[in-house]
Structure 1
Amino acid sequence: MSSQPKPVIHPLFHSPTSTYQYLLADPTTLSAVIIDPVLDFDPSTGTISSSSADAILGLVRNEGYTVTHLLETHAHADHLTAAYYLKQQLGGKPKICIGKRITKVQTTFAEKYAVNKKELEGVFDVLWEDDEVFQVGELEARVMWLPGHTEDHVGYVIGENIFTGDSIFNPDVGSARCDFPGGDAHQLFQTSQALLSLPPHYKIYTGHDYPPGGDSGRAAPLPYTTVLEQQRLNKHLKEGTLEEEFVAWRKERDGGLGEPRLLHQALQVNIRGGRLPADGFLKVPVKGVKL
């Protein structure tokens, strides 16, 4: 892979959801992929807008890129994917891609939200196999299964970079929760070990960043650190961390976390590959006193 050109990587941070989106291109052919794009959603009004996705489209056009793939790392629970919107705006040509275990996630949440299963048919163009290889122009990309946060979670190794979604965060943030259906702290620990066994100079691009701030913390989001920096500094998973200790801590921590703000809206759209329900309504469960 060293003989390949180095990809051009544009990190795009979506502040309302603390999500990193990435536009990556082969500098030789100008073929490109978009990783984990976001639709804007205002839960107070139920309004979906496309300003973030449109900014990506503007960059694509300005750089002269041809987008071939819209890559999802998993069915996100904290933002709505812009993959289907982008596919429409790009003439229907890019393929919406996700790991093959999305079918299990679709089944789980179709039951929870009473989704008509016909609305889930063919919403993803490609369901990746583990370790599947594909081309982005002259660049070779490899799919890496990264379970733990969710069971369908994958990452993308392109050149000396890996786009990890929510499987690991920057060293001063640590790790993602494991309490969603199909999540597993033991698996997340094993995933972290696989990531940290990559060459030390490889760059780990995260799916989110939550800068700690304060007097001693950084204030600005950071799209990547190296494997070596993660090995030395990750506050949850650095070298010497024992699996049993991590799992016990993660379970205790996850037990005190609330639901993501856009959980229900995001999942219903994301298992549809970015499409809205046919009837235009998103369901929100009601808790508390039975009436």
Structure 2
Amino acid sequence: MTSSWTPRDIPSQAGRTAVVTGANSGLGLETARALAAAGAHVVLAVRDVAKGETAAAALPGSTEVRRLDLADLASVREFAAGWSGPLDVLVNNAGVMWVPAGETVDGFESHLGTNHLGPFALTNLLLPHLTDRVVTVSSATHLTGRIDLADLHWRTRSYSPTAAYAASKLANLLFTLELQRRLTASGSTLRALAAHPGYSATNLQSHTGSAAWNAVMSVANRVVATSAAEGALPTLFAATLELPGGGYAGPSKLGGTRGRPTLVGRSPAASDPDLAAGLWTASAELTGVDFPAALPV
């Protein structure tokens, strides 16, 4: 299955609804495109509604656009409060990469706030509506990530854009680990999964805030990277197939940089239940959002 799997192998998504964050470009757009082509009603959750509408107009099937800025908890809460009815799949795709030192409007370090804390709050607020699964997009760079619970916002350590990004991607896997533990403990049949795209060319690499890095990444994208459509395959694999909760999907070849999707391993840190629990507690305190008291079973 993994050696030849493509979007044509996605089971029918007719009658299902999916939210894909950051769906106006790159991996999110390709994820939305494939899900809509398979019959799902896809909600493109984007910061720029005009860009979202332009993207949605070129997609097949049933789509709609709603505003969501993961770097602003007020926007996250507004999006969740506006949701009604069932939601089958939530794809936490949107994120930032290698941006200069900075903070979100809520005072969170930019990578952690956008890539982890925003999706953490969004997921927990939407959990009462979910019927199937949450898929959170991580990265192979989580292997070098380090979570310092005493300095999540890099206020005492020397800031490094690459290290901060890697830490946020490690946070994505720790979130998935603890979310699945809580879902299982509550008796819920919902599943939490994660995926990484390998090395895929998207516009994420051109928004680092550094002209030099942008130029380097532009060359690498042309020479080494796979397409965004191929990079989206692990996310689609995790979003549509019967996989175990807590699973992590990624490319199967060349050290996980490319190839058809399969379930892959993760770092020891990403498998640490104590670290996952500690990050969850800190995330709940920072966002004011926690695991719901009751879920459908």
Give the TM-score normalised by structure 1.
Answer: 0.34
Q: Choose between structure 1 and 2: higher helix proportion.
A: 2
Q: Choose between structure 1 and 2: higher strand proportion.
A: 1
Give the TM-score normalised by structure 2.
Answer: 0.33
The structure whose Rg is larger is 1
